[in-house]
Amino acid sequence: MPSLRRRAGTSLLGLASLAAALLVWDRFASGAGRGDVASLDAVGRLLVDRHELLVAAAAVTLGEAALGLLTGTAFAVVAAWAAHVAAGARGPLQHLMLICYAVPLVALGPLLTASVDRGAIPVIAAAISAALPVFSSAEAGFGAVREGLRDLLTVHGAGRWRRLVLLEVPGALPYAIDGIKFAVPGALLGALIGEWFGVERGLGVLLVSGLREGQSDLVTAVSVLVVVTSSAVYALFARWARTVQRRRGITGSVT
């Protein structure tokens, strides 16, 4: 019961904060006297009048982000396992992940444009943005598996791959899901930025078009759509992570 009350209080506080932010935004937009700030009415009308365009663009961006998240997660989990089992591999892999994550995607854009198909750039950018959080969490998960359990499986004749399937992957799963939860917003942002480099569809294309043509209502509507979508997907993965942790008897965040 206390946990339920705490969750209800947090939800009410979040709704109140959102309502206050919307009120401040509308007041600021109404009193700005310029065309660079869209009011709630203008954004609402655009969301209704051009919902087909926005939904189609959001579907493209979400598809790119999902594929990038899947690719980045697969690479990060394999790299985390290699860092755990291969002697001397942990440091170089950590540095590689940090370097890829630290380099601005805007700076990587021209390099990717010259080397890969432009349609693949949003997926690559999303994968780069998602890799480090998943790598850090999965590495912690593989490290949390008890050596005694590995030795027990080894004594019973289990090889490296059998230990991986029966022990290490299930043990690292709650950690990896927790990392994916934090990687979701980054993957969506990466796909959005990747769309700036020559693709024809997506929320990033609408965002650039709105900025170029001075359509503040379109820019604001796309920004709101991105925030809402990212928050919803994050909440979905957060719930999944809590479910897995509860079934494994883990309390709190594992990262």
pLDDT tens digits for range 190-205: 999 888 887 888 888 8
Mean pLDDT, residues 146-155: 64
Residues 14-37: what's their mean pLDDT? 46
> What share of the chain has pLDDT > 70, as a percent?
70
Q: Is pLDDT of 168 > 80?
A: no
Burial (0-12, 13-18, 19+ Cβ within 10 Å), 119: middle
How far is C-alpha 123 from the geometric centre of its chain's CA atoms? 12
DSSP letter string over 87-133? Answer: TT-HHHHHHHHHHHHHS-HHHHHHHHHHHS-GGGHHHHHHHHHHHHH
Write down the pTM of the prediction. Answer: 0.76
Residue 71: per-residue pLDDT = 94
Contacts of 189 (CB under 8 A, 6+ apart): 129, 226, 230
CA distance linking residue 229 with residue 184, whole number of Å: 10
Mean of the pLDDT values across residues 88-96? 86
Q: Count Cβ atoms within 10 A of the Cβ of residue 47 and give its class: 0-12 exposed, 13-18 middle, 19 or more buried.
A: middle
- Say whether pLDDT at 251 is over 70: no
Q: For residue 63, what pLDDT band results from cuts at 50, 70 and 90? A: very high
Number of neighbours of residue 20 by Cβ within 10 angstroms: 10
HSE value, Cβ hemisphere, 13 Å, CA-based, for 98: 6
Q: Which of 16-20, 33-37, 233-237 has the lowest average pLDDT?
A: 16-20
